[in-house]
Structure 1
Amino acid sequence: MTGVPASLVTAGGLVGGYGVARWTKKRPLGGLVLGAAGVVAGKQWHEKAGAGAAAALGGLYVAAFAGSHPLAKKVGAWPSVLGVAGAVALASWAVERRA
């Protein structure tokens, strides 16, 4: 699979998922964006770096989503989402770069 790097897909999924949920007031739509990006990135990780890396990065993606909620209570919603999106994108980039 070529095209948009998985690092950008994951960042876009986290930021876009939150944005869609917030602006439409329909959380399931945001979840759809988040999930679709996760599936696309997961396929790319698997192809480039193997099943173990894909599982680890997929777990990080889900943990970032979950962790953004309590973090948002401390720093605000957008800073939280942007921070976790950046962290996941950086980890994904590092794995993609090595593969």
Structure 2
Amino acid sequence: MSTSWTLKPAAAVKTAPVVAIGLLGGYVTARETGIRPLGGVVLGVAGAYAIRSWAARRGPATAAALGAVYVLGFGLSHPLAKKIGSWPAVLTVTAASAVASHLLSDDRPERAAIEG
């Protein structure tokens, strides 16, 4: 039995769920543990994994744009929470980021298939 594991090829990863896990998981981790940096670790790991896939699927420009949406979503959730509450704010920015990821990356053919 093999004990090694590998990551799925970057271009094969659907990133909308990864984005949702990063934003929701980061929030829940920080809230439930009381350790905000731990929530940041969840957010960061998921974001890095998504950026890896965005770059492989759609190139660096799309990866940068979607990375900005992800980080801005996190940042905007804080002032938005003061207006509509924490959970509605997190759910709103998560939905927006996941939809952007789906439309700009997951729902499009891989770059290699386009170029080849």
| 1:31-64 deviations in Å (ceiling 9; x for gaps) | 0000000000000000000000000000110000
Aligned CA-pair RMSD: 1.1
Q: Runs of 4 or more off by more than 6 Å in structure 1? A: none
Kindly state the Cα deviation for residue 5 of structure 1 after the two structures are TM-superposed.
1.4
Kindly state the Cα deviation for residue 98 of structure 1 after the two structures are TM-superposed.
2.3
* Aligned counterparts of 1:87 and 1:35: Cα–Cα separation in 2: 18
Q: Which runs of 5+ in 1 are unaligned?
A: none
Q: Which runs of 5+ in 2 are unaligned?
A: 1-8, 110-116
Q: TM-score, normalised by structure 2?
A: 0.82
The structure whose Rg is larger is: 2
1:98 aligns with 2:108: yes
Kindly state the Cα deviation for residue 66 of structure 1 after the two structures are TM-superposed.
0.2
Say if 2:81 and 2:87, in contact at 8 Å, map to a contact too: yes
1:86 aligns with 2:95: yes
1:11 aligns with 2:16: no
1:67 aligns with 2:88: no
Partner residue in 2 for 1:47: 56
Q: TM-score, normalised by structure 1?
A: 0.95
* Aligned counterparts of 1:13 and 1:6: Cα–Cα separation in 2: 10
Kindly state the Cα deviation for residue 4 of structure 1 after the two structures are TM-superposed.
4.9
Number of residue equivalences: 99
